[in-house]
């Protein structure tokens, strides 16, 4: 009897140890996540894509298609180069063809329409028709030296963007620059493509435009938000199936004569906006997030808080003010809990 | 409890210890420096080994220095030298991006962050 009891204790111990081994093996196998990474260079930025938990064939096919999407949208939105057989932004702005309207690629037509809708929505703050002014500032931004003269800025005139039926645009040489929306818009297209072929676990970071799908191991993606002063991380968000986009930030300013100039130009003043150091938007749609961060960067934080409240959507915002205060909408704390 | 039982327990303990140490040793990968040209990895070296390396970028050779578990780009050929001016990085969420050279220097590991927005 006594011996039996001891035997059963031994058996129990053996069982426990075996179970422990399996538990360890299980946790170990969970760490073996198949990750595929690709870096692309389009739209003046680096685009980092990570796909998880699929076969390498699926990953390769997806990467090819994604590169195709970014490269085609890059060409369509390119303001400085023409490409044979596509009527892109360069062509719309600069062509000397004697035609009344230009037939556009459906995708470019949709993106311009999206930009014009945001012009309405933002009361004219998000203006996709100021390529010339943006160029004037960019020259100085790139050398971190000087600012454009009043004369320079005044020399920029643009004709209205007039879209017609059947994917056409009036050939009146507008001054389109889609920089404020192109990255976020295209990244949204890519994320929809991935969902359509049932790749659910992914992360895309297109130069500060982040989109994530489901997490690769049932957790949440940890996304660090950079401090605009020194590049450190001042906030970590835990998210899945969201877009996180920042406007402003470190290296998106240049200093001249002791004054800091941002890269986002206010269409009303034709000068860079100075309301804050950076603003971050968390929402479901990357195109929306990209357009909204630009819009919010162009108004005061108080106005922005009203603007977001009035939209009455599932949007959260983090403002980093000029005096280094952080303001958030109430939902942000849901992303910060461990 | 007889000798066989004790032997059995010891044996199982030893097996499980070996298994656990084997498993956990797989976990403790040191951080590595990963250098990409476009999307091809062209360098993968330990972060805790002080050394300098040279890789080819789009506009010419790039010199990368690893020291005290930090990494930096010492020299590269580009209009503004943004990536050599960036200095040291040491955290896995940090990258040095040499855009004109199409070269990216990452620190790879069990990162605590998946990405950063800037």
Question: Which ipTM score applies to this complex?
Answer: 0.74
**Cβ separation B117–A225 shorter than 8 A:** yes
**Cβ separation B1–A6 shorter than 8 A:** yes
CA distance A265 to chain B (A): 18
- Residue B70, classified by CB atoms within 10 Å of its CB into exposed (0-12), middle (13-18) or buried (19+), is middle
Residue of chain A with shortest Cα separation from B25: A28
Does domain A221-336 match CATH 3.30.470.10?
Answer: no
Average pLDDT over residues B11-34: 67
- Kindly list the domain boundaries of chain A, sorted by start residue: 1-32, 221-336
Region for residue B81 given its phi and psi (left: phi exceeds 0; alpha: psi -120 to 50; beta: otherwise): left
- Mutate which: A222, A227, A230, A318, vs B, most B CBs within 10 A: A222
Token look-up 């961060």 returns: A293
B99 neighbourhood in chain A, CB within 8 Å: 41, 45-46
**Cβ separation B38–A222 shorter than 8 A:** no
Burial A92-104, CB ≥16 within 10 A → b, else e: bbeeeeeeebbeb
**Cβ separation A208–B38 shorter than 8 A:** no
A251 neighbourhood in chain B, CB within 8 Å: 118
**Cβ separation A38–B39 shorter than 8 A:** yes
Residue of chain B with shortest Cα separation from A231: B118
Residues 95 through 114 of chain B touching chain A, CB cutoff 8 Å: 97, 99, 102, 104, 110, 112-114
pLDDT, residue B52, reads 85
B4 neighbourhood in chain A, CB within 8 Å: none
Q: Is the Cβ of B3 closer than 8 Å to some Cβ of chain A?
A: no
Residue of chain B with shortest Cα separation from A12: B9
338 residues of chain A, pLDDT tens digit each: 555 677 777 777 777 777 777 776 666 555 567 889 898 999 989 899 999 999 999 999 999 999 999 999 999 999 999 998 899 999 999 999 999 999 999 999 999 999 999 999 999 999 999 999 999 998 888 777 889 999 989 999 889 999 999 999 999 999 999 999 999 999 999 999 999 999 999 999 998 899 999 999 889 999 999 889 887 788 999 999 999 999 987 777 788 888 888 989 999 999 999 999 999 999 999 999 999 999 999 999 999 999 999 999 999 999 999 999 999 999 999 999 76
Cross-strand partners of A47: A40, A206
Which pLDDT band holds residue B26 (cuts at 50, 70, 90)? very low
pLDDT, residue A330, reads 94
**Cβ separation A203–B114 shorter than 8 A:** yes
Contact A115, A162 (CB under 8 A): no
CA distance B85 to chain A (A): 12
Q: How far apart are CA A28 and CA A173, in angstroms?
A: 60
Q: What percent of chain B has pLDDT over 90?
A: 22
Q: How far apart are CA A217 and CA A214, in angstroms?
A: 9
Length of chain B: 118
Contact A9, B6 (CB under 8 A): no
**Cβ separation B114–A223 shorter than 8 A:** yes
Compute and round to an integer the Cα radius of gyration of chain B. Answer: 22
Average pLDDT over residues B7-34: 69
Token look-up 């390396």 returns: B53
Token look-up 């630009």 returns: A294
pLDDT, residue A59, reads 95
Contact B90, B107 (CB under 8 A): yes
Name every residue whose Cβ is closer than 8 Å to that of residue A130 and which is 6 or more positions away in sequence: A156, A158, A175, A177, A265, A267
A226 neighbourhood in chain B, CB within 8 Å: 116-118
Q: How far apart are CA A242 and CA A261, in angstroms?
A: 30
pLDDT, residue A161, reads 96
Q: How far apart are CA A118 and CA A108, in angstroms?
A: 15
Residue A255 tokens read as: 């200093």
Check: pTM over 0.90? Answer yes or no. Answer: no
Q: Is the Cβ of B85 closer than 8 Å to some Cβ of chain A?
A: no
Of B9, B112, B115, the CB nearest to A205: B115
pLDDT, residue B18, reads 75
**Cβ separation A233–B93 shorter than 8 A:** yes
Q: In the predicted model, is pLDDT for residue B69 greater than 60?
A: yes
Residue A288 tokens read as: 């929306």
**Cβ separation B39–A20 shorter than 8 A:** no
Length of chain A: 338
A224 neighbourhood in chain B, CB within 8 Å: 93, 113, 115-117
pLDDT, residue B27, reads 43
Q: How far apart are CA A174 and CA A88, in angstroms?
A: 13
Which pLDDT band holds residue B73 (cuts at 50, 70, 90)? very high
Residues 15 through 74 of chain B touching chain A, CB cutoff 8 Å: 16, 19-20, 23, 26-27, 36, 38-39
Residue of chain B with shortest Cα separation from A9: B1
pLDDT, residue B38, reads 85
Q: How far apart are CA A82 and CA A66, in angstroms?
A: 22
Of A21, A50, A205, the CB nearest to B19: A21
CA distance B2 to chain A (A): 9
Which pLDDT band holds residue B28 (cuts at 50, 70, 90)? very low
CA distance B86 to chain A (A): 11
């Amino acid at each position: 009897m006594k011996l039996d009891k001891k035997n059963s204790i031994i058996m129990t111990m053996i069982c426990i140890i075996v179970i422990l081994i399996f538990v360890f093996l299980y946790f170990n196998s969970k760490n073996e996540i198949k990750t595929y990474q690709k870096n692309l260079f389009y739209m003046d930025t680096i685009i980092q894509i990570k796909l998880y938990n699929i076969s390498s064939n699926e990953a390769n096919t997806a990467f090819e298609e994604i590169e195709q999407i970014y490269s085609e949208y890059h060409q369509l939105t390119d303001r400085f180069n023409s490409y044979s057989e596509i009527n892109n932004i360069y062509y719309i702005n600069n062509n000397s063809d004697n035609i009344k309207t230009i037939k556009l690629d459906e995708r470019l037509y949709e993106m311009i329409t999206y930009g014009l809708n945001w012009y309405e929505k933002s009361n004219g703050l998000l203006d996709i028709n100021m390529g010339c002014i943006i160029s004037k500032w960019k020259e100085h931004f790139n050398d971190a030296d000087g600012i454009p003269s009043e004369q320079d800025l005044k020399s920029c005139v643009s004709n209205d963007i007039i879209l017609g039926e059947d994917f056409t645009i009036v050939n009146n040489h507008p001054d389109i620059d889609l920089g404020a929306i192109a990255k976020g818009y295209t990244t949204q297209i890519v994320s929809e493509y991935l969902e359509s072929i049932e790749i659910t676990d992914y992360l895309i970071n297109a130069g500060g435009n982040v989109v994530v799908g489901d997490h690769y191991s049932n957790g949440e993606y940890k996304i660090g938000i950079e401090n605009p002063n020194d590049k450190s991380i001042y906030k970590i968000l835990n998210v899945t199936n969201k877009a996180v986009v920042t406007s402003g930030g470190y290296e998106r300013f240049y200093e001249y004569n002791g004054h800091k100039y941002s890269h986002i130009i206010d269409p009303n003043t034709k000068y860079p906006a100075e309301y804050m150091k950076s603003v971050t938007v968390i929402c479901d749609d990357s195109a929306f997030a990209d357009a909204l961060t630009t819009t919010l960067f162009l108004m005061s934080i108080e106005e922005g808080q009203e603007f977001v409240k009035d939209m009455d959507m599932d949007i959260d915002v983090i403002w980093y003010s000029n005096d280094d205060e952080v303001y958030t909408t109430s939902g942000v704390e849901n992303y910060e809990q461990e | 409890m007889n000798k066989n039982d004790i032997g059995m327990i010891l044996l199982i303990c030893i097996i499980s210890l070996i298994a656990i140490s084997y498993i956990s040793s797989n976990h403790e990968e040191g951080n590595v420096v990963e250098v990409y040209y476009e999307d091809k990895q062209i360098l993968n070296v330990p972060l805790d080994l002080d050394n300098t390396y040279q890789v080819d970028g789009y506009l010419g050779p790039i010199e990368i220095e690893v020291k005290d578990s930090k990494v930096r780009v010492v020299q590269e050929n580009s209009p503004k030298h943004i990536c050599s001016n960036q200095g040291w990085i040491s955290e896995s969420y940090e990258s040095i991006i040499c855009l004109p050279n199409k070269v990216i220097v990452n620190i790879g590991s069990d990162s605590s962050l998946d990405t950063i927005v800037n």
